[in-house]
């Protein structure tokens, strides 16, 4: 059968899958799955990208040993992280992760050293302020004055670097580049002002190119596979696979991170959007993903890691038995970014504020669930206010679609109809992006309709919560 290889990399795992048509529906078949864990290099939290690359090659080899006729491959991953190369194409420094602590305080330094206000930066980039944005990572690097800094020739984002290692072509894909806070969001070009502000050099940056184009080929055992630069930011691919057909439907990419927002033809960088810290990330066809970045299921994953015998269904079951909305946190607090113990970090969050803290494991879990649902509602309210849109439906995609307790809680708190599926949104978006590049389908809308007809959509109808407005007010007071 004819297919394409979808390489979908997340912060905790990676998959090599094949996407193909079967009786008018898109199907996925997984060939290889592997862990993607951060490793400590000295005091820095890093990615083991060479291990990831080896695992990708193992997966491709498994696919080529099958009966599939492969037409291309594409890679999507998380955003903001990058690799610096010298003129010979060799990496400089470590593959430091966005969860590393080196960026603490860099945002303030950028503003002070360049007489730039946060409003100035937001007006240019349209990107929300997060401690780990590429602009802050580069500021941290340039302030260190490493002895290799003068040898930097090019910057490649993670999927661009992996594509380079496969096909030898240095390329910059737009959707991943858009997460950096270094692009002019309206012109979709690198901003010299923002690049200079973080101490980087404009010559390091390759002009960003729109996704869904063949850039080179990977050769293995006499077989040449075209390498497709897809919408390489995993959220961009996930949104591409989300069946959105009207302006009143929002999306929620529910995974390690929760990305909740809408599609827009234009970036929105007005004062309301700035005050809400909304982000305008790049999407397929030059569209924008106006969204809010929320810490997401990372909190659940980290708590679960402290109790490895429990399954995710065990955890949601424990939460469902607890008294709701007793304990609430701001899930986006930086203390939850990468603590040694998430349980301890959550309890300390309350203690620092002289608030009663959850004592039992199930209370901690319930606190996370309730706080996430309230964060979703707050984000949707902000987006509706900024855009003057009436949002009456939410499409949840990604691994979080399997958490029925959270999805129902989201419907109840947001008082909105919630539709779930597809679960493998990033991988499917990767696939349809390749199909578009190969002229196997005509456009994004056609791909979305095929994905919707290929999915088992589930509806969660909102149920009444007593005292909901008071609960929301309590949550907002914690921000």
* Catalytic annotation, residues: 234
What does the DSSP assignment read for 270-310? SHHHHHHT-EEEE-GGG-EEEEEEE-TTHHHHHHHHTSTT-
- Burial (Cβ within 10 Å: 0-12, 13-18, ≥19) of residue 202: exposed
Distance between CA atoms of 355 and 452, rounded to whole angstroms?
Answer: 45
Q: How close are the terminal C-alpha atoms of the chain, in Å?
A: 52
CA 186 to chain centroid, in Å, comes to 21
Q: Distances in Å between the alpha carbon of 218 and those of 74, 164, 231?
A: 11, 10, 19
Instruction: Write the DSSP symbol of residue 208.
Output: P
Q: Per the structure block, which two tokens stand in for 55?
A: 């695992």
The bridge status of strand 189-190 relative to strand 154-157 is: unpaired
Q: Give the integer Cα–Cα distance in Å for 300 and 316.
A: 9
CA–CA distance, 456 with 479 (Å, rounded to integer): 37
- For residue 14 the two structure tokens come to 């990676």
Structure tokens at 12: 């905790």
Q: Alpha carbon of 237 to those of 141, 174, 199, 206, 355: distances in Å?
A: 29, 12, 31, 21, 41
Distance CA 241, CA 31 (A): 21
| Widest distance between CA atoms in the chain | 66
> Which residues share a beta bridge with 82?
157
SS3 call for 435: helix
Which position has the token pair 């500021």? 139
H/E run at residue 387: helix 361-387
């Amino acid at each position: 059968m004819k297919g394409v290889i979808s390489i979908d990399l997340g912060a905790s795992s990676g998959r090599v899958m094949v996407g193909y048509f079967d009786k008018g529906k898109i199907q996925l078949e997984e060939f290889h799955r592997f862990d993607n864990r951060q490793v400590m290099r000295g005091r820095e939290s890093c990615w083991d990208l060479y291990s990831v690359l080896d695992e990708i090659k193992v997966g491709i080899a498994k696919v080529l040993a099958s009966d599939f006729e492969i037409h291309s491959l594409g890679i999507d991953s998380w955003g903001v992280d990058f690799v610096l190369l010298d003129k010979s194409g060799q990496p400089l420094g470590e593959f430091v992760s966005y969860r590393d602590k080196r960026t603490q305080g860099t945002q303030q330094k950028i503003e002070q050293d360049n007489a730039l206000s946060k409003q100035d930066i937001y007006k240019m980039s349209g990107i929300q302020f997060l401690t780990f944005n590429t602009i802050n990572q580069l500021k941290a690097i340039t302030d260190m004055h490493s002895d290799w800094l003068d040898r930097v020739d090019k910057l490649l984002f993670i999927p661009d670097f992996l594509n380079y290692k496969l096909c030898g072509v240095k390329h910059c894909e737009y959707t991943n580049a858009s997460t950096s806070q270094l692009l002019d969001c309206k012109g979709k070009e690198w901003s010299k002002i923002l690049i200079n502000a973080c101490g980087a050099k404009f010559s390091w940056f390759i002009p960003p190119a729109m996704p869904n184009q063949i850039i080179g080929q990977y050769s293995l055992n006499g077989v040449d596979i075209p390498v497709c630069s897809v919408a390489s930011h995993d959220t961009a691919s996930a949104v591409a696979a989300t069946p959105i057909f009207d302006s009143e439907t929002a999306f929620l990419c529910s995974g390690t991170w929760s990305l909740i927002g809408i599609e827009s033809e234009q970036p929105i960088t007005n004062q309301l959007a700035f005050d809400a810290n909304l982000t305008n990330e790049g999407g397929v066809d030059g569209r924008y993903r106006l969204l809010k970045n929320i810490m997401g299921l990372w909190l659940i994953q980290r708590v679960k890691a402290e109790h490895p015998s429990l399954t995710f269904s065990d955890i949601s079951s424990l939460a469902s038995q607890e008294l709701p909305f007793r304990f609430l946190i701001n899930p986006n607090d930086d203390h939850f970014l990468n603590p040694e113990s998430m349980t301890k970090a959550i309890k300390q969050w309350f203690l620092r504020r002289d608030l009663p803290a959850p004592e039992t494991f199930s209370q901690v879990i319930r606190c996370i669930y309730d706080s996430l649902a309230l964060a979703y509602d707050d984000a949707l309210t902000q987006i509706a206010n900024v855009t003057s849109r009436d949002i009456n439906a939410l499409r949840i995609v990604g691994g979080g679609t399997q958490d029925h307790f959270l999805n129902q809680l989201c419907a109840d708190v947001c008082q909105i109809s919630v539709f779930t599926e597809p679960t493998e949104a990033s991988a499917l978006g990767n696939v349809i992006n390749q199909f578009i590049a190969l002229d196997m389908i005509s456009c994004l809308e056609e791909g979305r309709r095929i994905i919707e007809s290929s999915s088992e959509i589930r509806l969660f109808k909102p149920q009444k919560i007593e005292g909901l407005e008071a609960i929301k007010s309590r949550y907002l007071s914690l921000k």
